């Protein structure tokens, strides 16, 4: 089968599409015939081996797992013994090991049935970004009447967060560039701030919940516009900080937020079936729709990851794979 692999860390040029053996699934696993794979900033980070502190997880000198990609949408090809949630032929989306390939192995706990109103490319764009947005908003117990601000609202996570927060009944302020103002309004944002014209940390307004996907304001500035009992979730990757990425900022925030009633909502995304089902229901109800930036064929995965790594993607980017014969 075809797969996008890398033998060492580096820029997109280290990625190579080559023929490899099809994954052999074990008990409790699912083999997915990949139809599309979502691209995330995390794929760029793993490709580069960043941050350095994470290399014991990725692999110290080279990636432990050669095939890249996690977000997936496709058709169940086979199931291991003990798997009862899915059967061959089911169309699924979620997380898999090495999704930039014709086939990928996955845990049934990290998959769900594909939303009926999405293409495979759209479905593959949902898992990581959608779950980060959902779990971040849950950290703040966001609900009806809450004032929510999404900084970096036009990216993959931000576009999901705006829509999910609206579905929860919140009043949503989206912060984005000039070219994305109308997009934010189309997604239901109640107010849109063009950061090139206005600094939201200087306006004197406060918010019950802030999701910061950019890390372009100091923690003290963000605290000033957070309500006395509000929650800040700092989600900016900051992979320009090669050793710790956003880890240093989060550690500093943990200390600062010990004082007072404001909360810092740290979490690691959990790629679980339950969260995917929640997203599927929101999507099928018409409350959430993935915003697609670009799609690329498998042999242009390096270009796709490079595009996302530049930080200017509008919504989500996906890799698309044609339906192959069973041979």
To 5 degrees, how large is the angle CA 167–CA 123–CA 125?
A: 85
Strand partners, 16: 5
Taking 70 as the threshold, does the pLDDT of residue 287 lie above it?
Answer: yes
Contacts of 78 (CB under 8 A, 6+ apart): 25, 30, 31, 88
Tell how strand 316-320 and strand 292-297 pair up.
Answer: parallel
Average pLDDT of the residues of the chain: 91
Question: CA-CA distance, 161 to 13, in Å (whole number)?
Answer: 32
Question: CA-CA distance, 126 to 267, in Å (whole number)?
Answer: 19
pLDDT of the residue at 61: 80
Q: Minimum mean pLDDT among 19-33, 179-193, 229-243: which range?
A: 229-243
* High-pLDDT (> 90) share of the chain, %: 77
Strand partners, 325: none
Higher pLDDT, 110 or 54: 110
pLDDT of the residue at 244: 47
Spell 194-221 as b/e; 16+ CB within 10 A means b.
ebeeeebbeeeeebbbbbbbbbebebee
pLDDT of the residue at 311: 80
pLDDT of the residue at 239: 54
pLDDT of the residue at 240: 56
Which range has the top average pLDDT, 44-53, 216-225, 229-238? 216-225
- Read off the DSSP letter of residue 8: S
Domains of the chain, start order: 2-126+292-320 (3.90.180.10), 129-264 (3.40.50.720)
77-130 confidence digits (pLDDT tens): 999 999 999 999 999 999 999 999 999 999 999 999 999 999 999 999 999 999
- What crossing angle do the helices spanning 273-284 and 156-167 adopt, rounded to 10°? 70
- What crossing angle do the helices spanning 41-48 and 301-309 adopt, rounded to 10°? 100
Higher pLDDT, 175 or 269: 175
Residue with tokens 């759209």: 122
Average pLDDT over residues 245-250: 60
Question: CA-CA distance, 226 to 232, in Å (whole number)?
Answer: 8
**pTM for this entry:** 0.93
Average pLDDT over residues 3-10: 94
pLDDT of the residue at 327: 41
Phi-psi region of 10 (alpha: psi -120 to 50; beta: other; left: phi over 0): left
Q: How confident is the model at residue 243 (pLDDT cuts 50, 70, 90)?
A: very low
Q: Do residues 194 and 133 touch, judged by C-beta distance below 8 A?
A: no
Taking 60 as the threshold, does the pLDDT of residue 241 lie above it?
Answer: no
pLDDT of the residue at 325: 47
Q: Minimum mean pLDDT among 25-34, 141-150, 194-203, 230-239: which range?
A: 230-239
Higher pLDDT, 268 or 249: 268
């Amino acid at each position: 089968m075809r797969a996008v692999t890398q033998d060492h860390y580096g820029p997109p040029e280290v990625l190579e599409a080559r023929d490899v053996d099809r994954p052999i699934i074990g008990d409790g696993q699912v083999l997915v015939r990949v139809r599309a794979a979502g691209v995330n900033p995390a794929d760029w980070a793993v490709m580069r081996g960043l941050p350095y502190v994470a290399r014991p997880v990725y692999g110290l000198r080279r990636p432990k797992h050669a095939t890249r990609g996690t977000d997936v949408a496709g058709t169940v090809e086979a199931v291991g013994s003990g798997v009862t949630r899915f059967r061959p032929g089911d169309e699924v989306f979620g997380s898999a090991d090495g999704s930039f390939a014709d086939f990928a192995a996955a845990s049934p706990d990290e998959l769900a049935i594909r939303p009926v109103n999405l293409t495979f490319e759209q479905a593959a764009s949902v898992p990581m970004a959608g779950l980060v947005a959902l779990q971040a908003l849950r950290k703040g117990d966001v609900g009806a009447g809450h004032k929510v601000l999404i900084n970096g609202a036009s990216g993959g996570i931000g576009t999901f967060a705006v829509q999910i927060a609206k579905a929860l009944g919140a009043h949503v302020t989206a912060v984005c560039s000039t070219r994305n103002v109308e997009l934010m309004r189309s997604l239901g944002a109640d107010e849109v701030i063009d950061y090139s014209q206005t600094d939201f940390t200087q306006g004197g307004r406060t918010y019950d919940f802030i999701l910061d996907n950019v890390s372009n304001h100091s923690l003290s500035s963000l605290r000033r516009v957070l309500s006395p009992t509000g929650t800040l979730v700092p989600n900016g990757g900051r992979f320009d900080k090669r050793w710790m990425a956003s880890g240093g900022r989060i550690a500093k925030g943990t200390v600062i937020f010990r004082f007072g009633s404001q909360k810092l909502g740290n979490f690691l995304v959990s790629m679980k079936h339950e969260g995917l089902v929640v997203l599927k229901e929101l999507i099928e109800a018409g409350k959430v729709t993935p915003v697609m930036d670009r799609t690329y064929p498998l042999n242009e995965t390096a270009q796709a990851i490079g595009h996302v790594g530049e930080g200017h993607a509008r919504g989500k980017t996906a890799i698309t794979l044609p339906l192959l014969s069973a041979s």
